[in-house]
């Protein structure tokens, strides 16, 4: 469903005519080689497309206009091999509406000590050429990512790769459509927000539907389709005996399959990339969609429960960023605590809807009662999540702006088996510890819902927030509550002033 290879990042080198055609030919040759190298890097999931060296304001402006209208172009990598007077870049950069990365590198790794002459110096002058370019980016107050280092180095390739993933999610968000079945869970505050502002800021559009619109499509699922899907469940999961064909509750499994087919068809027909449901509005659906949501998330759809469209959009964005990486991304909720001398832990789960992509073993497909919602028992996938480092992030509407807050955590095995817990779950130690992480999270107004990923780092989220022009707050091993509170106060001032009128 998500294919990052169709996305293009354009490799754009700036120069000028001062050095003569021979030098410019060398600049072009080097840039072509670098673009090809980065395009072939395993760290970079998109294409890297070489563009002719830019030497005039007209060429720069035209390139930026071309990038704006090129559907597959998700951003530019810019680099000044030589000196490119930055007044030439004002018109183009003012028009550019795609993200850009400033790669501060040099074609030659080392100084050829015994050979170096003024020709070499004139060709390899990114050390000051890129500073001139950096000035105009700062003077124009443009969001961009600056990466410094030799272009063949792994860490430089990795950092470019992170940015291309964030830019892919950003491009995806511009055409994002979210289907919202039912409204918000009544009286809940943090899952609400300004959908018009969200569309202006992130690009995605939230479409509201009555659950009856979905029920109609669910009821259209044929017996043949249901038979086929049930067969898939039997192959993919450890299915409870009573749910199997001939079992006492096989009809509940078939009902779960019907719901999955219906939601999938609805989303596909409307070209939706994400969706929300709410257990308070399920009229006409026999069960709360559990397994269906888990499987749709696995296939790349964003999801938020209780009408949480912001988290649904974030899960989708993080699914795009994580495409092809190990680990997985899921909707998540901080559910309950384990206070212990060995470290305070969070048990994360939801009523049902945790994505299968983070499962550590083959999920068990079972049917159990749901204590709220007043519907038939829902089928669901139950598993322990992977262990290892992960990151949870949420976006809140703070009234004047959107804020993203993220916490780096370490997922650990559960202390003991959880034989009676009927939902998928993850147990983690927040960094630096629960006391600091939860206090900072609460001061920031962080939501109880998150998008939770083992594939992504804070750098992915920071790059994405930078593209969206939203606030980004990280809670990790370096966080102190007092410094964090200061940051919140300063950010309030900054975002108030930077917005202007």
Classify 149 in phi/psi space as left (phi over 0), alpha (psi -120 to 50) or beta: left
CB of 452 to Mn ion, least distance (A): 13
Number of residues binding to Mn ion, judged by CB under 5 A: 2
With binding defined as CB under 5 A, does residue 293 bind Mn ion? no
Token pair of 196 as six digits: 């018009």
Q: Tell me which stretch binds Mn ion (CB under 5 A): 205-213, 304-312, 451-459, 466-474.
A: 304-312
Beta-strand runs (E) in 315-470: 329-338, 345-349, 364-367, 379-382, 388-397, 402-412, 425-430, 449-453
- Whichever of 14 and 348 has its CB closer to Mn ion, that residue is 348
Place of tokens 């509940």: 252
Nearest to 110, CA basis, from 98, 124, 89? 124
CB of 386 to Mn ion, least distance (A): 21
What CA dihedral angle connects 411, 278, 475 and 323, to 10 degrees?
60
Q: Are 86 and 64 in contact, with CB atoms under 8 Å apart?
A: no
DSSP helix/strand/coil, 37: helix
SS3 content of the chain, % helix, strand, coil (to 5): 40, 20, 35
Cα Rg for the chain, rounded, in angstroms?
A: 25
- Whichever of 51 and 350 has its CB closer to Mn ion, that residue is 350
- Whichever of 93 and 381 has its CB closer to Mn ion, that residue is 381
User: What's the CA gap between 20 and 25, in Å, rounded?
Assistant: 9
CB of 241 to Mn ion, least distance (A): 30
- Whichever of 129 and 307 has its CB closer to Mn ion, that residue is 307
CB of 185 to Mn ion, least distance (A): 8
With binding defined as CB under 5 A, does residue 305 bind Mn ion? yes
- Whichever of 263 and 305 has its CB closer to Mn ion, that residue is 305
CB of 305 to Mn ion, least distance (A): 5
Q: Tell me which stretch binds Mn ion (CB under 5 A): 65-73, 171-179, 259-267, 297-305.
A: 297-305
Nearest to 296, CA basis, from 261, 325, 333? 261
With binding defined as CB under 5 A, does residue 370 bind Mn ion? no
- Whichever of 86 and 274 has its CB closer to Mn ion, that residue is 274
Contacts to Mn ion from residues 325-354, by CB under 5 A = 333
CB of 205 to Mn ion, least distance (A): 23
Q: Using CB under 5 A as the criterion, what x/- string covers residues 459-498 for binding Mn ion? A: ----------------------------------------
CB of 351 to Mn ion, least distance (A): 7
- Whichever of 305 and 396 has its CB closer to Mn ion, that residue is 305
Name the DSSP class of 129: H
Q: Tell me which stretch binds Mn ion (CB under 5 A): 95-103, 234-242, 298-306, 491-499.
A: 298-306
User: What's the CA gap between 405 and 408, in Å, rounded?
Assistant: 10
Nearest to 9, CA basis, from 57, 56, 43? 43
- Whichever of 185 and 458 has its CB closer to Mn ion, that residue is 185
- Whichever of 180 and 431 has its CB closer to Mn ion, that residue is 180
Residue 369 burial class via C-beta count within 10 angstroms: exposed 0-12, middle 13-18, buried 19 and up = exposed
Nearest to 441, CA basis, from 470, 476, 466, 490? 476
Name the DSSP class of 70: -
- Whichever of 281 and 333 has its CB closer to Mn ion, that residue is 333
What CA dihedral angle connects 320, 2, 235 and 286, to 10 degrees?
70
Q: Which run of H or of E encompasses 131?
A: helix 126-139
Nearest to 8, CA basis, from 76, 79, 73? 73
Q: Tell me which stretch binds Mn ion (CB under 5 A): 24-32, 54-62, 300-308, 484-492.
A: 300-308
Contacts to Mn ion from residues 159-198, by CB under 5 A = none
CB of 350 to Mn ion, least distance (A): 6
CB of 449 to Mn ion, least distance (A): 6
CB of 447 to Mn ion, least distance (A): 9
Name the DSSP class of 454: S
Which residues sit at the interface with Mn ion, rule CB under 5 A? Answer: 305, 333
């Amino acid at each position: 469903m998500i294919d990052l290879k169709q996305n293009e990042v354009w490799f754009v080198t700036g120069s000028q005519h001062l050095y003569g055609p021979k030098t410019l030919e060398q600049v072009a040759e080097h840039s072509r080689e670098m673009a090809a190298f980065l395009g072939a890097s395993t760290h970079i999931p998109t294409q890297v497309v070489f563009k002719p060296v830019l030497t005039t304001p007209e060429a720069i402006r035209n390139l930026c206009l071309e990038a704006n209208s090129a559907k597959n172009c998700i951003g530019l990598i810019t680099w000044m091999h030589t000196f490119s007077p930055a007044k030439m870049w004002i018109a183009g950069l003012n028009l550019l509406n795609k993200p850009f990365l400033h790669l501060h590198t040099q074609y030659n790794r080392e100084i050829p000590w015994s050979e170096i002459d003024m020709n070499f110096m004139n060709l390899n002058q990114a050390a000051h050429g890129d500073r001139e370019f950096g000035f105009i980016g700062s003077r124009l107050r443009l969001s961009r990512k600056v990466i410094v280092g030799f272009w063949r180095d792994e860490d430089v390739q990795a950092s470019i790769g992170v940015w291309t993933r964030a830019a892919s999610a950003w491009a995806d968000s511009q055409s994002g459509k979210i289907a919202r079945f039912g409204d918000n869970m009544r009286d809940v505050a943090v899952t609400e927000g300004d959908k018009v502002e969200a569309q202006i800021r992130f690009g995605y559009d939230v479409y509201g539907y009555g659950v009856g619109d979905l029920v109609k499509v669910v009821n259209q699922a044929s017996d043949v389709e249901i038979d086929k899907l049930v067969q898939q469940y039997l192959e993919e999961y450890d299915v409870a005996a009573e749910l199997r064909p001939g079992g006492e509750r096989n009809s509940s499994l078939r009902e779960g399959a019907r719901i999955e087919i219906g939601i999938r068809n609805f989303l596909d027909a409307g070209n939706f990339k994400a969706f929300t449901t709410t257990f308070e509005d399920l009229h006409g659906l026999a069960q709360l969609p559990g397994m269906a949501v888990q499987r749709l998330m696995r296939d790349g759809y964003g999801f938020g429960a209780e009408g949480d469209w912001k988290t649904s959009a974030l899960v989708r964005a993080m699914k795009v960023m994580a495409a092809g990486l190990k680990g997985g991304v899921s909707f998540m909720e901080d559910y309950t605590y384990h206070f212990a001398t060995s470290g305070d832990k969070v048990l994360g789960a939801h009523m049902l809807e945790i994505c299968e992509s983070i499962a550590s073993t083959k999920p068990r497909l079972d049917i159990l009662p749901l204590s709220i919602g007043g519907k038939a028992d829902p089928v669901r996938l139950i598993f322990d999540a992977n262990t290892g480092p992960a990151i949870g992030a949420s976006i809140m509407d703070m009234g004047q702006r959107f804020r993203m807050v993220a916490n780096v955590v370490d997922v650990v095995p559960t202390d003991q088996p959880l034989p009676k817990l009927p939902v998928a779950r993850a147990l983690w130690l927040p960094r630096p510890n629960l006391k600091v992480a939860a206090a900072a999270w609460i001061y920031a107004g962080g939501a109880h819902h998150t998008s939770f990923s083992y594939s992504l780092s804070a750098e992915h989220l920071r790059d994405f927030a930078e593209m969206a022009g939203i606030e980004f707050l990280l809670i990790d091993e370096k966080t102190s509550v007092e410094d964090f509170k200061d940051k919140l106060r300063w950010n309030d001032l900054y975002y108030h002033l930077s917005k202007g009128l």
